Amino acid sequence: MEVLRAVIAKMITISAAELDAFVAQCYRKTFKKKDFLSDAERFVHEIYFIEEGLLRVMITDVEGREHTTHFAVEQQFIADYNAFLTGQRSKYQLQALEDSSTIVLPRKAIEWGYEHLQEGEKLGRLIAEYYFIYLDTRLQHQYTLSPKERYDLMNDIFPDIHNRVPQHMIASYLGITAVHLSRIKRQ
């Protein structure tokens, strides 16, 4: 749990005792490649912290088509945070794209944190802000960048993604089809 402790300690001021108490309420859970952490239509009561591996968030539309909306790797949090917050059924699925090791932060631990950690609310605020910034920035790119530019940007930010996830998922993440991405790369 060392990495999780370090990540939290970087976000807020927190004592070792507080960290102990918080982390004691979390537990490790591992997933094999292609496992689903969480399915659509379920109620969501946990956030995952990724120790090792690579996961994605996807959503399935009425025609049964999958859309990948998010990739996450080591030292990041991942969840259907919307369903977690609103209490509504999940619309997303979380899936491991590699064998992965996660730490589960159950709702109880998080709410305990809001009440008992000195800066628990601040941690919650920072996480929500982080999620918002991530989403909004992606949206901005969707509006202002061409598929090709989004593709190049992704390669800058996450250079080894090609070796870790299949291209059709990258295409989906970029909002285009696999065929179209292949065409773009040709040029």
Partner DNA sequence: GCTTATTCTAAACATATGTTATCGTTTTGT
Partner DNA sequence: ACAAAACGATAACATATGTTTAGAATAAGC
Using CB under 8 A as the binding rule, the residues of this chain from 59 to 118 that contact a second copy are 59, 61-62, 67, 69, 81-82, 85-86, 91, 114
13 binds, among DNA, a second copy, none (CB under 5 to 8 A by kind): none
Measured CA distances, 57 to 60, 79, 92, 115, 183 (Å)? 10, 8, 6, 29, 25
Q: Which of 9, 35, 124, 154 binds a second copy (CB under 8 A)?
A: 124
Residue found by looking up tokens 């998922």 in the block: 169
Contact mark string toward a second copy, 39..58, x via CB under 8 A: --------------------
Q: What is the dihedral of CA 42, 48, 52, 58, to 10 degrees?
A: 40
* Residue 186 binding: pick among DNA, a second copy, none (C-beta 5-8 Å cut-off by kind): DNA
Residues 59-78 that bind DNA (CB under 7 A): none
Structure tokens at 110: 């998080």
**Identified binder of DNA from the candidate list 6, 15, 28, 34, rule CB under 7 A:** 34
Q: Which of 7, 139, 153, 179 binds a second copy (CB under 8 A)?
A: 139
CA dist., res. 165 & res. 55, Å (int): 10
**Per-position DSSP letters for 20-33, written without gaps between them:** HHHHTT-EEEEE-T
